[in-house]
Structure 1
Amino acid sequence: MCTLEGKKGLILGIANEQSIAWPCAQAMQAAGALLGATWQTEKSRTYVEPLLDALGVDLRMPLDVSDDAQLEAVFDAVAQRWGRLDFLIHSIAYAPKDDLHGKVLDSSREGFALAMDISCHSFIRAARLAAPLMSQGGSLVAMSYLGSERVVPNYGLMGPVKAALESAVRYLAAELGPVGIRVNAISPGAIETRAASGINHFDALVTDYAERSPMVGALTANDVAPLCVFLASDGARAMTGATLYVDGGYNIVT
């Protein structure tokens, strides 16, 4: 039921080999999917392209999700190359450093708006462009975090932003369900990635997860990959609007 043979999918958010999206891409290809992927900037391209070469990904393009023209170009390329899309993985989040490291109370209007646009609304925009390519149904997946529903020290501004993302997932699931498109969020635990290193004292959070989760031990991005495969597969055909935890059970003990 977890085979992705014959399915075509787009992975947004591979920045380097430590990105959560990278092992997800590897696992999805291993399950039989044909993949497309993007990089954010020319700087990140130097890290991403060798990974895409290793998987033999042909459909590859630059994508700054704040640029509508680039986003539209990616989905135009999917339409021209494949004619359809079966799944989309959105693993993109950003907040300006000053706003991320400060109190929510002190967050700037500009910083909050930018974090919401890139981390949340870009998923909505991608869903809008993906939907016409999913005439036979499909799966949209976004990456969230426990800070969306609980106060996690030093997570700050991204807490309200991820809460908005999870709410968007539910509303999109309700709106797209009638045409067979499923929308879900994955909430990984504390995993050491380059993006997560921008959060103050993140190493302490990783240690806390490893020590207090019912399934004791450090998490890796490889723990997230099988769920991505499942949600894109026909095995998850009746699942939508959910936020699914991959955190060793940490969410039940905090």
Structure 2
Amino acid sequence: MLKGKRGLVVGVANADSIAFGCAAKLRAFGADIALTYLNDKARSHVEPLARQIDATLILPLDVTQPGQIKAVFESIREAWGSIDFVIHSIAFAPKDDLHGRIMDCSQTGFLQAMQVSCHSFLEMAHHAEPLMNPGGALITMSYYGADKVVNNYNLMGPVKAALESSVRYLAKELGDSGVRVFAVSPGPLRTRAASGIAHFDELIDMAVARAPSHRLVDIAEVGRSVAFLVGGGASGMTGDVIYVDAGLHHMA
């Protein structure tokens, strides 16, 4: 389904990462994959996964470091010349700011959360634009807490809301180029990043109790949804938030 397409997946930390679920499914459907790793410590975890899916490129990327996003896309331009998709699956907030009330968060913590979780997607779109083939897709990861108040999600709620709004504006700006933009909103998953949310087990229990099918989704299901959005089947869609949460977002 995706043979001949090439794309970047950002955010793989380990085999349980949503980003790895996406990369594995995109590769299984035939796409060539470039992966990134945060730092030397993370590289030892990411490289075996890159070999597992036969990733073409593995590149360093810390979005808080000036010039690193640009360098990743320059490496992709040199290796491939063009690109068909970017999967952005990174988010961060300092623990003290995340665990407190949003009215008490520090300016530094708020700006850092916005930079890593939202602005980095805009910056990737900026550098990807000249490389994107018509029909390409930019996809980021959101969460139900962008739209509704979720206990203990706190600072990340407004940050993800900004991210979802950015998706809509990017979809408008890139529409004439034939590039589509989406946010995928999985239900709660037991990833390393999610474990930073206070009382995360309670969030998991709530999701299982309230979802129509009384279960969690897994990273493979998220990956298959992303593969659909990247492929031609979603050619008539852009600017949408796609929920992959076993129906949880429908429940009052």
Global fold match (TM > 0.5):
yes
Matched, 1:11 2:19: no
Q: Is the 8 A contact 1:210 1:219 kept in 2?
A: no
Q: Is the 8 A contact 2:84 2:133 kept in 1?
A: no
Query: 2: CA distance between counterparts of 1:137 and 1:247?
Result: 26
Please report the TM-score for the alignment, with normalisation by the length of structure 1: 0.97
Which residue is equivalent to 1:80?
A: 78
Matched, 1:167 2:161: no
Query: 1: CA distance between counterparts of 2:168 and 2:48?
Result: 35
* SS of structure 2 residue aligned to 1:186: strand
Q: For this pair of structures, how many residues does the alignment match? A: 252
The one-letter code sitting in structure 2 at the alignment partner of 1:248 is A
* SS of structure 2 residue aligned to 1:204: helix
Q: Residue 144 of structure 1: which of 126, 142, 145 is its match? A: 142
Instruction: Give 1:197-216 correspondences, 5 Å limit.
Output: 197-216=195-214
* SS of structure 1 residue aligned to 2:83: coil
Q: Is the 8 A contact 2:184 2:241 kept in 1?
A: yes
Matched, 1:56 2:44: no
Runs of 4+ in 1 over 2 A off after TM superposition: none
* SS of structure 2 residue aligned to 1:86: strand
Query: 2: CA distance between counterparts of 1:232 and 1:67?
Result: 28
Deviations 1:85-142 (A, max 9, x none): 0000000000000000000010000000000000000000000101100143310000
* SS of structure 2 residue aligned to 1:14: coil
Percent identity, aligned pairs only, is 50
Instruction: Give 1:1-254 correspondences, 5 Å limit.
Output: 3-254=1-252
Extract unaligned runs of 5+ from structure 2.
none
RMSD, matched Cα: 0.8
Query: 2: CA distance between counterparts of 1:34 and 1:230?
Result: 16
Please report the TM-score for the alignment, with normalisation by the length of structure 2: 0.98
